[in-house]
Amino acid sequence: MRFGILASAQYPFHEDLQQRLGELWDLTELAAELRYDSVFMISHFMGNLQTPQTISTTAKLIQHSGDMTVGTGILLLPLFHPVHIAEEFATLDHLAKGRLVLGVGAGYRDNEYRAFGLDKSHRFSRLREGIELLRALWTGEQVDYRGKHFAVEGEHIGIRPYQPGGPPIWIGAGAEGSVKRAARLGDAWFAPGNSPKPNWLQRAMEWHDTALADAGKTREGREYPLIVQLYCGETFEGARAEVRPYVQDSYFAYSEYSQLSWQRSAFEYLWDNVFLIGDPDHLERRIKELRATGFNHIVFRPFWTGMPAEMAHRSLRLFAEQVVPRFRAEEGAER
């Protein structure tokens, strides 16, 4: 079982971005000190919150991340040209000396596609072609590729990745067709852990693994990462009372996008049944349930809109000291 943090760097416009970014570097350094396994950076454009851009911020996170895996969670690949991303992430792979993961997804916000002058209905074909072209370019060999959206003839990449074949590609997906696509095209399915549908993760895992088998792939040795909302406190009631205002403010801000309007109406269900917020014993039970479903890499959002940095530090440290060792001890006993 691996544990990482999601650098969900989204801040209200009235906040001091320099201060918040400094807090993000500090939090990442603390996670590295506490031996967390990974840190992932989000991606959005034209948002209703201040959102530093992914590629440049990921480069900065590499400097503060110790030995952790660093990645994007997720990059909106259809909004970019794959040649650009191939060279950027080959460069980042060298900066990270192979500790890099490229997490990609199709996105959901209409305004982002409008701003780029792209037809949102083409996002899945652009995603597929983008992944195909990335993999071809990362071989370092001459590429001849012609798709509906992208074409490269007789060219090779200007910088080969540090990792042979390039960084692993994890695909974010939350609908049945997208989950199956992630199994076929990706090195991992980067699963969202905030569905308001009961037993959705179990059903989605079945979709994924069926598609994986149909593609002639095996579960063995694969990462099964899941993004969750997690906060660890000394007591169950205390943790939930102190963090709820910040989680709620964030979810209500996201619900301003029409595609996420359900996050306001479903918030109470998510709060009671989906989010991982409580004391160490509660979190251990919940994570064991997720492990039984098949997930082996928990990536959690450690802070929400307006939340003081010291709260994130306390939660991160308490979880690392009181919860993570329980899973490490189990794995050691099994070996």
At 115, the pLDDT band (50, 70, 90 cuts) reads: very high
**In residues, how long is the chain?**
335
CA atoms within 13 A on the CB side of 56: 5
pLDDT value at position 332? Answer: 62
Helix axes 309-322, 280-293, angle to 10 degrees: 70
Instruction: List pLDDT tens digits, range 71-93.
Output: 999 999 999 999 999 999 999 99
Find the radius of gyration of the CA atoms of the chain: 19
Instruction: List pLDDT tens digits, range 231-289.
Output: 999 999 999 999 999 999 999 988 888 777 878 989 999 999 999 999 999 999 999 99
pLDDT value at position 8? Answer: 87
Angle at 39 between CA 177 and CA 71, to 5 degrees: 55
Question: pTM score, two decimals?
Answer: 0.95
What whole-number distance in Å separates Cα of residue 25 and Cα of residue 29?
6
Instruction: List pLDDT tens digits, range 316-333.
Output: 999 999 999 999 877 766
Instruction: List pLDDT tens digits, range 191-205.
Output: 999 999 999 999 999
